Amino acid sequence: MSVLVAFSVTPIGAGEDVGEMVAEAVRVVRASGLPNRTDAMFTTVEGETWDEVLAVVKDAVAAVEARCSRVSLVLKADARAGQDRLDAKVATVERHLAEGAS
Domains of the chain with CATH codes:
2-100 (3.30.70.930)
Across the chain, the runs of DSSP E, i.e. the strands, are 2-11, 36-38, 43-47, 71-80
Q: What is the pLDDT of residues 19-56, one digit of tens each?
A: 899 999 999 999 999 999 999 999 999 999 999 999 99
- The answer to whether residue 63 scores a pLDDT higher than 80 is yes
Record the pTM.
0.87
The predicted pLDDT at position 31 comes to: 98
The predicted pLDDT at position 18 comes to: 85
The predicted pLDDT at position 81 comes to: 87
Q: Per-residue pLDDT averaged across 80-101, rounded?
A: 84
